[in-house]
Amino acid sequence: MAPPASSRRSRRPAPELLFGDLWPYDPAPETADPRIRAEYDLFIGGRFVPAADGTRFTSINPATERPLTELARGGPADVDAACRAAASAFPRWSRLPGAERGKYLFRLARLLQDRAREFAVAETMDNGKPIRETRDFDVPSAAAHFFYHAGWADKLAYLAPGRTVAPLGVVGQVIPWNFPLLMLAWKIAPALAAGNCVVLKPASNTPLTAVKLAELLQEAELPPGVVNIVTGPGATGAHLLAHPLVSKVAFTGSTEVGKVILRSVAGAGKRLTMELGGKAANIVFADAPLDQAVEGIVNGIFFNQGQVCCAGSRLLVQESVAERVVAQLRRRLRVLRVGDPLDKNTDLGAIVSREQRDVIRGYLRAGVAEGAELWQAPFRAPARGFYVPPAVFTGVTQSHRIAREEIFGPVLSVLTFRTVEEAVEKANNTPYGLSAGVWTDKGSLILRLATELRAGVVWANTFNKFDPASPFGGYKESGFGREGGRHGLLDYCAVA
Ligand code: NAP
Ligand code: MG
């Protein structure tokens, strides 16, 4: 047993807390039953059906490395069946009065709320992210997206007053593993509100909440074929997006795969939305409320273990306060809890997969090899699972790989600047342009940066704030098209 914290503290004058000083909390596991079946089939035409070739794959829990469930591995024949089901559901669904379509979306939102704890536990087990985030962010935000778009379903005429707004037909949607249920909601809710039918492929690391949602679709009595879910690998996604019945492609994932998709569908006349990677600058000026800024930096890069497309992975801090901000940041990071994602006290859970953990470790090595200084929060690794403690690189230059490439992990690169012009130039010096953060006391500076930063979203004195009514999307290699709000809905409509 360690001596009580008070007696240890008296012997240690150092201002920075050591690992042993973390308050010893009792375990606080979330105990709701995730209701995970041993096997899941594909969801096509309103029914669960096995893959045509009968093959399956396993989804694991990255916090324990144990298998969670077996899923059907959809192939080209299954994709074809799903696209046909969607195409045959489309005429009736698109002609339903908007208010009727809205009823289904409201129903789905409420069913998701009813089973929020169950979905939160399932998402945490499949992805490794902390229960606090799935419970307080992923699941409520997913429900909010269904509610928001339910409200639009009978008001489509107001999207583009004086013009005709029509659905596009069958939409092919492929999503990543970092916010599995939320990305599904971002995709399905606007597509259905606008009168489209959907075939969606979730990421193979995190397919669980998508197939669980298929159960809710049945419970909501959504007409068969309006939403079809085909689980499987990347190749299944490629078949789907290239399918001739798909008239709109909506992809969220890496820039690399986005480019492959763009090449494969070029000239096919499909409408496209690409939500790709990012390397956001979080810019802290000397006049900013620094305590709040430090919280914003932590939230910006360590939320969801840094596996966030809009993560504030580059901290640009004004030189005069850089030392203070970094010291404060390290103090804060020492008391973050890394560990069992199902524990309600956990701040950082597991990385989604062994591969992703190894990619992050590769970047940690690259940063050190290129001459940046690495600091990592003290951390006791659990016996199993893929964990990476918070990491901060100082002495980073713009040419370092850790400053240029998307790491998608809990790794912050700190750069400094002196003038506003230098901050803007450094922030924009990236092939990406998804998001940015600005911390300052001056409203005029915020407005100036909001126009000068080439980023789809610019947060001011906050970070990682989302709302279904607020469009989200990128510039440059972060993609095109928007999700959320009126703009996101218009991307699912033909306007004449
Ligand atoms: P990814 O490797 O690009 O995979 C994304 C999805 O595409 C997965 O479902 C994947 O299937 C599938 N896929 C792979 N190859 C494909 C192909 N040739 N054709 C069609 N689909 C294919 O990305 P990830 O590693 O899952 O996710 C991380 C990336 O997503 C990051 O770059 C991040 O920035 C980005 N992201 C962007 C946003 C945004 O809104 N801008 C939001 C979240 C994430 P498998 O899983 O089976 O391989
Ligand atoms: Mg999994």
Over residues 53-63, the mean pLDDT reads 98
Give residue 380's pLDDT. 85
What's the mean pLDDT in 447-456? 97
The rounded Å distance from CA 276 to ligand 2 centre is: 21
Q: What is the pLDDT of residue 153?
A: 98
What is the sign of the dihedral through the CA atoms of 162, 193, 465 and 275? Answer: negative
CA angle 42–47–51, rounded 5-degree value? 30
Q: Is the per-residue pLDDT at 51 higher than 70?
A: yes
Q: Ligand 1, residues 173, 243, 257: which to mutate, most atoms within 8 A of Cβ?
A: 257
For residue 338, the SS3 value is: strand
Q: What is the pTM of this model?
A: 0.95
pLDDT of residue 57 exceeding 90: yes
Superfamily of domain 281-468: Aldehyde Dehydrogenase; Chain A, domain 2 (3.40.309.10)
Output the CA 362–ligand 2 centroid distance in Å.
22
Predicted pLDDT at 21: 60
What integer is the mean pLDDT of 15-30? 70
Atom of ligand 1 nearest to the CA of 474: 41
Q: What is the predicted pLDDT for the residue at 16?
A: 47
Q: For residue 141, what are the contacts with CB-CB under 8 A and spacing of at least 6?
A: 182, 185, 466, 468
- Say if 39-276+478-495 and 281-468 have the same CATH topology: no
Tokens linked to 332: 């804060």
Q: What separation in angstroms does the CA of 319 have from each of 193, 291, 365, 440, 441?
A: 48, 17, 26, 14, 17
The ligand whose atoms approach the alpha carbon of 176 most closely is 1
Domain 39-276+478-495: CATH architecture, name and number where available? 3-Layer(aba) Sandwich (3.40)
pLDDT digits (tens, 9 = 90+) for 277-307: 999 999 999 999 999 999 999 999 999 999 9
Q: Where are the alpha helices (DSSP H) in 41-97?
A: 76-95
Which atom of ligand 1 is found nearest the CA of 240?
Answer: 20
The per-residue pLDDT for 446 is 98
Query: Which residues, other chains included, contact 451 with Cβ-Cβ below 8 Å and sequence gap of 6+?
Result: none
CA 484 from centre of chain: 14
Write the single-letter amino acid at 277.
G
* pLDDT given at position 12: 47
% of the chain with per-residue pLDDT over 70: 96
Beta-carbon neighbours within 5 Å of ion ligand 2: 59, 126, 205
The answer to whether residue 13 scores a pLDDT higher than 50 is: no
- φ, ψ of residue 162 in degrees (nearest 5): 85, -5
d(CA 284, CA 322): 9
Average pLDDT of the chain to the nearest whole number: 95
Q: Is the pLDDT of residue 5 over 70?
A: no
pLDDT reported for residue 381:
83
Q: Which residue(s) pair with 246 in the sheet? A: 170
Strand partners, 376: 391
Atom of ligand 1 nearest to the CA of 356: 25
Residue 78 makes CB contacts below 8 A (sequence gap 6+) with 42, 44, 51, 52, 72, 230, 232, 236
Among the listed residues 309, 310, 477, 483, the single catalytic one is 309
350-404 pLDDT, tens per residue? Answer: 999 999 999 999 999 999 999 999 999 988 889 999 999 999 999 999 999 999 9
Distance CA 129, CA 182 (A): 13
- Per-domain residue ranges for the chain? 39-276+478-495, 281-468
Average pLDDT over residues 182-211: 98
Q: What is the pLDDT of residues 100-114, one digit of tens each?
A: 999 999 999 999 999
pLDDT band, residue 3 (cuts 50/70/90) = very low
Q: Active site includes 421?
A: no
**Residue 24: its pLDDT value, please?**
78
Q: Which of 30, 275, 406, 483 is catalytic?
A: 275
